[in-house]
Every structure is written in C-alpha cells, then in structure tokens.
Chains A and B, each alone.
Chain A
C-alpha cells in the first residue's frame, strides 16, 4: 500500500449532518399517500459516493476493484454493476472513471479498501458531500423524466439496469433505471434544491407523493 492522506468524514463525536435538500421549500400540492400517486419521490440522503479513476485496460486495476468492492468493474456505458444486498453499486462514467455508491458511513472504509487493493496510477475521491441520490418511482416517473431531459427513455434505449449521465432540466444528472418504474437520480449539491423543486413541479400533474 502506497503512502496517502485520507480523511474520515465520520468522526467519533456527533456532528450535525444535513442533506443538500434540507432547506428546500416547495409549494406544490403533495399527496398524503403513495396510493394512486403517479410519481413517488424520495431521497436517499448521506450515502457514500466515491469517484474512482484508473486504467480499464490494466488487469491488476480491474481485479483490485473487484476484490475491494465485490462487484465487477463495468467496462463500457450500460448496466450499473450492483450488489443490492450490500447496497454497493459501480457505474461506468467515462473510459477511465467510475462512480461507486455505498451505504451511509461506509465511504471511508471503502476508500481504504480500494487503496489497499490498488497500486500505480489511480485515484479515489470521496464526493459524498457533493451529491445526493433521489429515488423516482411510479407509473408516471418515466413521463417526468421525458419532460425534463433530452435522452431517450424508451425501454429499447434505456433498459432496466442501465445508468447514464446526461442533461436534466438545464442541469446535469446521473440517471439510473433500477426497475420497470423505478429510477435513481444522482444530482449535485449545488443543483439539488433547483432539481428537486423542478421534479416536484413536473410531477404535480400526475399526483406526487414525497416519501420521507
């Protein structure tokens, strides 16, 4: 293991942590239950997000990542590698960049595992504080995305499992399809309030329920 400086963002003493959406105030009519709602929006706040960079052509790198994360490294745009039981996912972002999402408070430990398993020219960056994950579900969830982004959300172009990065409502977002009517959006902290308000506004006509 080479020399490196790491930072544990989860210190022993309790520190007040706030989701990027903590201050969002939205004035749309929200349904009181998920029953009959066209769209269900929920945030999975404070997950661990890591950006991993390295050479996909390097066999040692691929093997190290798989050993550290327990899921194979996806080598092209398409399905997100997932282990739902452990809440770990690895998404191809570009030919030398991947997004790793792990459960809350496991980011530091995951970074240490990756650093122990990797060597040479690579990078692991903890971006947990920079973005948050929204879950969008319901029969009209796809229509909300179609209203908001230019990407083709038809099942032939966007099958279950696929993950992409694209423009969403003049901002950018990582969009992943986790089920027939289930989607995950990973949005930046600085755009979180805007995009959350946009999604609620775009969902209002279908009946929207906010899961807490």
Chain B
C-alpha cells in the first residue's frame, strides 16, 4: 500500500482512499471551433505513457473528494510530490536532469 499525501487534507492517507484519474495538465484548446480534427482528437483521446516521470491527477475519493496532481515515477511507482490543481510541479524531467548533472560535477570536483 502506498501512503499518499493529500495537499487538501494536509496529511498522508492510505492508497485505498484515492483513485488515479490519468494524465494532468491537459489544456483544452482555447478555440475549439477553429481547432483541427487531428488536434481535437489528440486532446480528447491521446495520452502520454512515459517510462519514468509522469504528472497525473488523483482523486481523494474517500476523504475530501477533491482532485490534486501527483508526480509519479512509473518505473518505481514512487510518488515524488503532490500539489494542488493550478500549481506547477517542482519535480520535472528537466529538474531531474539538472540534479543528476550537478551530482556528477560534484563527484568530479571531489576527485
């Protein structure tokens, strides 16, 4: 069982209380009338399926019944952060890459 931090309840809860709700940060096309069928189809049906970091929506079904976002590693299932809708993730592929290169250069300096 995972312990997931609900940013609304401000405490960790059992995974059983939550429902995963798919990819987060999907922007609806601003002008649907002038959006091509292909773009509209992408918006409706096509989702990322990454190996590694994934920003996704979760629903606290048995608690506050609010949505929030989580950054999860699809390889390890580790949830790296949770944040409220409307906020941007702190952990991204770029931030991870920067962290890894900083660590590598630190190790180089230590030698």
Q: Are A and B a genuine interacting pair, yes or no?
A: yes
Q: A residues near B, CB below 8 A?
A: 76-77, 93-95, 97, 150-151, 164-167, 172
In the bound complex, do residue A76 and residue B63 qualify as a contact, i.e. CB atoms below 8 Å apart?
no
For chain B, give the interface size range. Answer: 10 to 19
User: Which chain A residues border B10 with CB–CB below 8 Å?
Assistant: 76-77
Alpha-carbon gap, A203 to B13, bound state (A): 25
In the bound complex, do residue B17 and residue A166 qualify as a contact, i.e. CB atoms below 8 Å apart?
yes
Of chain B, the residue at the smallest CB distance from A78 is B10
A151-B14 contact in complex given A77-B9, A94-B8, A95-B8, C-beta closer than 8 Å: yes
In the bound complex, do residue B13 and residue A166 qualify as a contact, i.e. CB atoms below 8 Å apart?
yes
Q: Give the A-B pair count, Cβ closer than 8 A.
A: 38
13 residue pairs of the A-B complex, CB under 8 angstroms, read A77-B9, A77-B10, A94-B65, A95-B66, A97-B64, A150-B1, A150-B16, A151-B13, A164-B9, A165-B62, A166-B13, A167-B16, A167-B17
Alpha-carbon gap, A95 to B64, bound state (A): 8
Alpha-carbon gap, A5 to B105, bound state (A): 69
Bitwise interface map of B from 48 to 80 toward A, beta carbon under 8 Å scored 1, else 0: 000000000000001111100000000000000
- Interface presence of B11 (CB below 8 A): yes
User: Which chain A residues border B14 with CB–CB below 8 Å?
Assistant: 150-151, 166-167
Partner of A93, one of B11, B13, B16, B64: B64
Alpha-carbon gap, A167 to B10, bound state (A): 17
User: Which chain B residues border A94 with CB–CB below 8 Å?
Assistant: 8, 63-66
User: Which chain A residues border B64 with CB–CB below 8 Å?
Assistant: 77, 93-95, 97, 165
Alpha-carbon gap, A166 to B62, bound state (A): 5
Alpha-carbon gap, A150 to B14, bound state (A): 6
Bitwise interface map of B from 65 to 99 toward A, beta carbon under 8 Å scored 1, else 0: 11000000000000000000000000000000000
* Beyond A150-B1, A150-B17, 14 additional pairs, beta carbon < 8 A: A93-B65, A94-B63, A94-B66, A97-B65, A164-B63, A165-B62, A165-B63, A166-B14, A166-B17, A166-B62, A167-B14, A167-B17, A167-B62, A172-B62
